[in-house]
Structure 1
Amino acid sequence: MIRLTPIVPGEMQPVIFIDGQIREGFVGGECAEGRGFPQWGMKIFAGDKVHWFRGDLNRYGERHSLCGRVYAVDRQIHLPGNYPRCKACEKALAVQKKHGIREE
């Protein structure tokens, strides 16, 4: 699989697949394996949105999204690719940045 354009979150992009066909769609990354959290990530079995996952784990070894709607163990969280981002997570990040909790 070869990406033909830079990844832009929320926008479909053309990709050349192994069979030589060009198809357009959303493309995600490989399993995050717990690296680099907090960060944007996508629960592999939960829909078509990317959420901001926190850095801390709960007592069951799961990470929760900032919006609180999604949680998963590290092996089920994949890198975001160009899937649309969760608006609630974006708003929560903006509030944190406004109040100096997070600098990005």
Structure 2
Amino acid sequence: MGKRESGNGVVFEDHFPAMVEKLGAEGFMNELFKGFELLMDPQRHLITFHSLKKNAAVLGLKVDDDDELLHSMLKEGDLDGDGCLDHMEFCVLMFRLSPNLMKQASHILFQDF
């Protein structure tokens, strides 16, 4: 398992390759979706600044007054510039944050086909 530091100084433990090996591609994608649902705003079906701040403890982050960190986390994955993460942006970000998973991406994506 590798560690990766994001652009905002947060260090992530890379468990994704082991999860894919254990769960398979479909199981892993289901787990990513569960993670998205855990962090999203239930009315908007997006991860917003407020939903991320509300649920940051789930990620093990202590960000009580660190709004800048939360904004930078959203910005890192926000591809369409709306300030939020939709399901696709969240999944892309999770793959980008896992260099070992990126190396296996083509195998993972086509494993069940």
Same fold (TM over 0.5): no
Hey, which of these two has a bigger chunk of strand by percent? 1
TM-score scaled by length of structure 1: 0.24
Structure with the greater alpha carbon radius of gyration? 1
TM-score normalized by structure 2?
A: 0.23
